[in-house]
Amino acid sequence: TSQGCSFLFCPPQTRYSVNGGRTSLRRPSCLIAALHTDTRLLLKPFRVADYRLAWAHLTLPNMLTLSENSLFGMGNPLLDICATVDKDFLDKYGLKVNDQILAEEKHVKMFEELVKKFKVEYHAGGSTQNSVKVAQWMIQKPYKVATFFGCIGTDKFGEILKKKAEEAHVDAHYYEQSEQPTGTCAACITGDNRSLVANLAAANCYKKEEHLDLEKNWKLVERANVYYIAGFFITVSPESILKVAKHASEKNKVFGLNLSAPFISQYFMKPLMEIMPYVDILFGNETEAATFAREQGFEDEDIKEIAKKVQALPKQNQKRQRIVVFTQGKEDTIVATATEVKAFPVIDIDQNAIVDTNGAGDAFVGGFLSQLVYERDLDQCIRAGHYSANVIIQRSGCTFPEKPSFH
């Protein structure tokens, strides 16, 4: 690696094993690490009492390799229609800044006006699909570490989504049907804020028994070690989420969920709380956290206290203590574990450099997941999340350069 250990030599009598991401060294007498310092190689013999600690310091995670389908995502695949609009447009259709809603009958004309009145860009989207796409970008190789399930139509937009997934090296297995067209999402941008209006269409037609339950598809689910689903999918197929969540819990794998939008807590609290006991990592932003707290009857409005209370909610798999991650835009990201609540500063950025905050939250999760699949520590996951979000907000839509510069 560019920093730290270049290689590690273990004497012949040394054996090591990696079990569940925890590494143990057995009966080593000495370790010799070759540390790269500028243009010199420094051979440094040393003895340690705690071999686990020594191995961790030698950056073992950077030496691990991933297999295909290690990360599984399931959600609503949508084609994003992005445009910079004015306040009058938001007011006309009753839209709020930094909000996400499902399209109603009154929004049908909005999609038409958006395309006619403003300059639009089309991007492959949908919250979960964005996140696994960013995770795969951060990982780079091997390709198809990320798997994605969702429903699309047998139409032009569906073909675009399949092509975009392939270009992103995501192993997408769509449930295709002809009753509804591929879903779309209007991303109405004002300054560094955005308002999302999703017309789920085909995405709303996902059927567990016709896709997730198929043996060939379930085998892909079983191959994963980390699972992530955005809360939006609760409106579509909560039974599919529960099946995946229970599998992760029973196999002691990691299951992540996102609160996604205030309306999920307001109108879908029952299925959300049926899933919550299986959630190992819960993501959300400050608005979603506040709404969840109100709906749960929490008396606290302080986001740290809310995170602490959410972390302490009943949990099925006691082998993994829940982690709660709440982002706050340019403010600190709040992380609650079983032992503490910490604030992580985001990366400073000139506000003039911000192009589009649409997808920033999805990108944060994607960066986080890219390190989680390597079983790297929480600080590293947060750092990667902040990096990914920082890259995405300086571009239009949830897009990124060819390669990340994250180290």
The tens digit of pLDDT for each residue in 15-46 reads 333 334 433 333 343 343 333 333 333 344 44
| Secondary structure (3-state) at 332 | strand
pLDDT value at 191 more than 50: yes
**Could you give the angle at the alpha carbon of 250 between the alpha carbons of 249 and 255, nearest 5°?**
20
| pTM beyond 0.85, yes or no | no
- Is 101 within 8 Å of 197 (Cβ atoms)? yes
pLDDT at 231 over 50: yes
Q: Return the structure tokens found at 362.
A: 């999805």
pLDDT band at 407 (very low <50, low <70, confident <90, very high): confident
pLDDT tens per residue, range 127-166? 999 999 999 999 999 999 999 999 999 998 899 899 999 9
The CA–CA distances, whole Å, from 298 to 13, 127, 315 equal 57, 27, 18
Mean pLDDT, all residues of the chain = 86
The reported pLDDT for the residue numbered 19 is 37
Q: Choose among 115, 16, 137: nearest CA to 388.
A: 137
At residue 337's C-alpha, the angle toward residues 332 and 340, to 5°, is 75
Q: Measure Cα distances from 68 to 165, 183, 203, 307 in Å.
A: 15, 27, 25, 33
List residues with catalytic annotation: 362
Residues 6+ apart with CB under 8 A from 285: 259, 326, 327, 328, 329, 361
Q: Quote the CA–CA distance of 1 and 365 in Å, as a whole number.
A: 25
339 neighbors 353 (Cβ within 8 angstroms): no
3-class DSSP state for residue 256?
strand
Contact 307, 335 (CB under 8 A): yes
234-285 pLDDT tens trace: 999 999 999 999 999 999 999 999 999 999 999 999 999 999 999 999 999 9
